[in-house]
Structure 1
C-alpha cells in the first residue's frame, strides 16, 4: 500500500492582497506602501489634528490594499489606500453632492492620490489612521479633513470639480459633448485629446511636443506618474502595429475562464446556435443565480472589444433575475467560444474618416414575448467604433416596421 504525505507551503503575503492591517503590517512591501500613502496625505495637508467638537459626527477609516498588475500578470506595484468609511456620513451634514463620471502618440499618466486634490466644502472629522496615530497629541484627537479622501461620498465630486472645472479650462481644454470624461484642446499647433478615468489619464495628440507641454502643466499642479506609452488600461490590452492599433482583452478572458474553471474546456466555433432560442421557463432553476449574474456581467464588459459576442450576451442578460440551468449552458458556450478566440480584438487603422452604419432586425424572433431584437454597428473609415444588440420594448406588427425601427436606432447613434 502506498503512503501519501501532504505538506503545507507558506503563503508569500507580498503576492496577495491582505484583508486587515494586522496581516499587512508584517510584510515589508505593504509597510512601505502604507508609509508612502501617509507621507502623501501629510504632504497634501489632508487634515489637522483637533479635539472632536460636541455633536459632530465622527467618520471612521480603514486601510485597503491592492496589487496593481501589468498586462502579463506580473506585479507592477503595491498600493495601500487610506479610505474613509463614507457609509457613516450623514447627507446634508457631512456632504451635499456626489458624483461618479469616468500616427498620434498615445501616453498614459496616473495622478497620485487623486482624491486628495479635491477641496472639501463641508466640515468632516475622521479617526486617526490605524498604525499611524500621532504621538504628539492626546489620544482623543481626531483628523479634521481639509482635503477629500477616498471613501468619502463627496470625494469623486470634489476631485472632478477641481480637475475639470478649474484646471483643464486654464490649459484651453473643452469638455466633449459626447463623453463627460473626454476633453479636447485645439490650437494653431494641433490637437490634444485627454481622457480622464478617476485617477488615470490617457493623452493623445497630433504632435509629441503638445503632449509634453500638457504633461509639464499637469506635473506642476498634481503629483503625477508618467507610465509612458499606453499598453494596458482597465483590462484592455493595446498593441501597436505598422497598420494601426490593436485592442484586445486576452488577459481578461483568461482570468474569466479561470474563475469558472473552463481553462481546459473544448472551444466552440460560434458563441451560440443560430436555431436555438433561450426560453424563460426551460428546465430547472439554477442553484447559484448570483454567480450567473456575475459571469454575465463580466461578459458584458468583454463586448467593449468583442462585438461578435454582443448578441449572445444580450440573450443571456434577459434572464438575470431568474436563470435556469439551460441559460447556464448557453453562457458556458460563450465562454468556450472565447477560449478558442482569445486573441480576437478590434483593429483601428488609418483611412478616410467617413461614417458608415449598418443595422438589422430579427422580427418577432423571441418566443417568450415576440419582441424583436435590433442590432447596429458604426464604422469610422474601416474601424468599428460603436455597436449594440438589444431586444426592444415594443412588438412590431411587421418585419418592415421592425427594420425601420432598427434603422432609426442606428441613425440616432450617428446623430
Structure 2
C-alpha cells in the first residue's frame, strides 16, 4: 500500500502450513525479534529534538536470506511448480531457504542479520563504532567524538535509519546494501501502519489509515461518532448470560490495543477495562467496544507530536 492507502503492487508468496508443526518435534523456539513500539517512539522524539534525518529501508525477500540447518520437504501445490514424483507417488520439493509461515523463520532471519552485522560487516560495525543497544537489541548506534552518527532500528525486515545528516545516512545505506538486497524507500513516511510527518513544529505520528481499516473490518465505517471513548461511571461485570463471539471480541480488542500502544494512548483506560473480559464477553461488553470504535471515528486524525524540548512540561491525566 502507498502512503495514501492506494495499492502500490500485488505480491504473491509460497506459504506453508506452519500450523501443522508440533512444538518439541518440528520446532522448539519461536519469537519475533522486533524493535519495541515505544523504542520507535523514543527515537522519533530524539529525532524531533536533534533534527535528525529519518530514512527507511526494506530487505527484499528477507526470510530467503536465512539458511536452514535441517531438511524440510514440502508437498507440492497442484499445477503450480515443477516437481519430482517419488516412488510412493508423492510430489515433494526440498526447501533450502526459509519459507513463510514456518515457526522458526523469523528467528533464523534475525540470527542471519545479527551474524551478518558481526561478521560480513564486522569492520564497519565494530571498528567504526557501531554498538548494540542493551535495552532493545534491535537498535544499533554509531557516534563519533563530535556527536555525528546514525542509529539503526530493525523491525524484522524493515529498518529505520536516524542520522545527524544525510551524508551519514547514505553511508549506512551503502554498507547495508552491500550485505543484503535492499530497497531504499527514502525519507520515512509509514512504518508498521504509523504515518510519520515532519513539519516545522516537529514530528507527528498518527494512524488514521490503520483506524479507517479496522473501522471497515468491524463494520463501523458508517457509525455515528462520539466524543469520549467510555463512560467512566460505567460498571463492567463478568458475563453470566449469553456469550457473544469470543473470537470476534478478541480480534477487536487486539486491533484496538495496537492503536492504543502505538499512538492512541487516550483509549488506554477503556482498553484496560475491556480486555479483562476477552475470555467470556457479553453483548454489554461488545457495546462498550463499539463505543471505542465510534470514538476513533470521531478522532481518527488524533496522534502524537514531538516538538523538541518544551518550555513548560505539561501532563494531562484523565483519572476518575
TM category, shorter? 0.7 to 0.9
For structure 1, the 5+ residue unaligned runs are: 1-68, 363-415
Q: What are the residue-to-residue correspondences of 1:321-360 with 2, within 5 Å?
A: 321-351=279-309
Q: Secondary structure at the match of 2:11?
A: strand
Q: Secondary structure at the match of 1:290?
A: helix
Q: Which of 271, 276, 286 pairs up with 1:313?
A: 271
Residue deviations 1:207-263 (CA, integer Å, cap 9, x gap): 211111111111111111111111112111111111111101111111222223222
Over 3 Å counting, the alpha-carbon distance change for 1:154 and 1:230 in structure 2 is same
Over 3 Å counting, the alpha-carbon distance change for 1:205 and 1:354 in structure 2 is farther
Q: Secondary structure at the match of 2:183?
A: strand
Residue 105 of structure 2 is aligned to residue 155 of structure 1: yes
Larger radius of gyration: 1
Over 3 Å counting, the alpha-carbon distance change for 1:207 and 1:321 in structure 2 is same
How many residues are paired up?
Answer: 290
Q: CA deviation at 1:300?
A: 0.6
Q: Hey, what does 2:131 align to over in structure 1?
A: 174
CA distance in 1, matches of 2:314, 2:131: 27
Q: Larger relative CO (CA 8 A, sep 6+): 1 or 2?
A: 2
CA contact (8 A) 2:239 2:280 kept: no
* TM-score between the two structures when normalised by the length of structure 2: 0.80
Residue 244 of structure 2 is aligned to residue 294 of structure 1: no
For structure 2, the 5+ residue unaligned runs are: 35-50
Q: What are the residue-to-residue correspondences of 1:106-255 with 2, within 5 Å?
A: 106-127=54-75, 131-133=80-82, 138-140=84-86, 142-167=92-117, 170=122, 171-172=124-125, 173-188=130-145, 190-255=148-213
Q: Secondary structure at the match of 1:80?
A: coil
CA distance in 1, matches of 2:239, 2:103: 41
Q: Hey, what does 1:402 align to over in structure 2?
A: none
More strand by share: 1
* TM-score between the two structures when normalised by the length of structure 1: 0.63
Q: CA deviation at 1:95?
A: 5.2
Q: What are the residue-to-residue correspondences of 1:61-100 with 2, within 5 Å?
A: 69-89=1-21, 97-100=29-32
Q: Which range moved further: 183-192 or 270-279?
A: 183-192
CA distance in 2, matches of 1:257, 1:96: 37
Over 3 Å counting, the alpha-carbon distance change for 1:329 and 1:125 in structure 2 is closer
